[in-house]
Amino acid sequence: MHPPLTFSRKYEQGISIVELLTLATMCTIVIGFVVMHFVRGNRTNHRTSSSTELANYLRRARHDSMARKPTDIDQMAQVKVFNGRYYSVAIDANSDSYLDIPLVMRLPTEQGLQIQGPFPKTFIFDGSGQTVDSTKRRLPSPPVIVGDNSGATALTFSESGEVQVIPAIKVTASR
């Protein structure tokens, strides 16, 4: 026969207040990290989707000018960034060989997104898909940065004029 099992007094009492508080603190910390990861992930997704939308409008404007081959500056497709929240897109969406009334777009305000200046920024695309100024001189396109307080997404132009989206670049504080 086996001797009867005996338990020490410590296990008969249950858990102490200190152990309970330690467990609650650890759970709170883990939940906090999970929530922060989720919130930051959503911010990055919102920023990337808004940046991708702007990049798609830049691509459409470029391809519209390449398809129509306009020679007059007033008929070249363009995207104008007015300020940190608003931009317009002028393309020939109905295929009548003339630019339509510009479509004004806004970044979502509830997400705290901003396009970085200086403003205004105008991207005019000639018939070969290159950016030009108002006198039809080709010029390199500066990157467009869309950001919030957690990071930024850059829209850059390749040598050939293609628009590229570079998500999740870090924003550093300037001194």
> Peptide bond before 108: cis, by omega within 30 degrees of 0?
no
Lowest mean pLDDT among 85-94, 126-135, 153-162, 164-173: 164-173
pTM for the model stands at: 0.73
**Under a CB-based contact definition with an 8 Å cutoff, are residues 51 and 153 in contact?**
yes
Res. 57 pLDDT band, cuts 50 70 90:
very high
- For residue 106, give the nearest of 87, 125, 120 by alpha carbon: 87
Q: What is the mean pLDDT of residues 5-13?
A: 56
